[in-house]
Amino acid sequence: MTIDIFREFGDSVESDSEDEFLLRQIDPTRLPTHIAIIMDGNGRWAARRNQPRVSGHRAGAEAVRATVETAARLGISYLTLYAFSTENWKRPRLEVDALMGLLREFLRKEIRSLKRNNIRFQTIGRERGLETSVSREIDRARKETANNNGMVLTVALNYSGRSEIAEACRTLAVEFLAQGRDPAEISEGDIERHLFTRDLPDPDLLVRTSGEMRVSNFLLWQIAYSEIYVTDILWPDFRRINLFEAILGYQKRERRYGDVKPAPNGSLIAANVK
């Protein structure tokens, strides 16, 4: 399996480089199935260079490209990126317009790469709140990659974790009442089937860049048992080596979901609730 991983990266990993050192440590049998990433730090990246915030967002697009390619080559099944929250509409109009323009540009440029790498593209969030031109590019990318059966790339746009849960509960309450059922019987499984992510497994690994220790209203239901990895790297500087580090950090952890693990002497050791 390790040989297969190296074959996927070909000559792009130089011998005796730090990339190679880290890649050799990754256990291909214990890769996270689903990685979710909070892409943070574009504004600070630009500020440190005395550049406008939009320059940080443009540089962040390069990080997206590198991360998607790396995840696909590693054989990650699902990658979800937090691109634009419902709260982001509060930003200056010029910045919001620039973000939407970058999204359109990214989709137009990357559609061939997505198809070539067998990646299926989709979004989660309230698409109806986006500009028509953005929705058009999203729909095109979704249709042109619909038959791909490799990694599923999900981009969260106009997304709010709280709103997602509230909307699922409202929909379920209406359905239960229409069917003469007691809403008090709504189960966790019912809610999960009405989330935007109903066709996705919960993330195994949540990565946040820029060192901030918060989840920012992202996949609040779905990350209940996710391993969280925070790096001080600002998103525009995030590259292949940083994803390797996150995966290695994940593989060093023991996932017990609040269970207990027998100690060597037969006693039980309380597991950390995760």
Report the CATH number at residue 161: 3.40.1180.10
Length of the chain: 274
Q: Any idea of the CA torsion for 222, 8, 114, 210, to the nearest 10 degrees?
A: 50
Q: Write out the residue range of the structural domain in which residue 115 sits.
A: 33-250
**203: pLDDT strictly greater than 90:** yes
Position 23 in a domain:
no
Q: Give the N- to C-terminal CA distance of the chain in Å, as an integer.
A: 29
pLDDT at 39: 98
Say if residue 263's pLDDT is above 90. no
Is residue 6, in this structure, part of any structural domain at all?
A: no
Query: Rounded to whole angstroms, how far apart are CA atoms 183 and 77?
Result: 35
* 103-123 mean pLDDT: 94
Q: Per the domain annotation, does 14 fall within a domain?
A: no
For residue 137, being part of any structural domain is answered with: yes
Q: Would 62 be classed as within a structural domain?
A: yes
Domain assignment of residue 7, yes or no: no
- pLDDT on residue 8: 74
Report d(CA 197, CA 104) in Å as an integer.
23
Count of structural domains within the chain? 1
Closest CA to 34 of 240, 235, 226: 226
- CA distances to 50, 216, 219, 236 from 58, rounded to whole Å, are 15, 22, 25, 8
> What is the model's pLDDT at position 207?
98
The answer to whether position 106 is within a domain reads yes
Give the pLDDT confidence of 41-96 residue by residue, as tens digits.
Answer: 999 999 999 999 999 999 999 999 999 999 999 999 999 999 999 999 999 999 99
Q: Residues with catalytic annotation?
A: 40, 88
Residue 274: predicted pLDDT? 45
pLDDT band at 16 (very low <50, low <70, confident <90, very high): confident
Q: What is the pLDDT of residues 17-38, one digit of tens each?
A: 899 999 999 999 999 999 999 9
pLDDT at residue 269 in the model: 52
Phi, psi (degrees; rounded to nearest 5) at 230: -115, 130
pLDDT at 255: 79
Please report the beta strands in 44-170, taking only residues with DSSP state E, as ranges in sequence order: 78-85, 120-124, 152-159
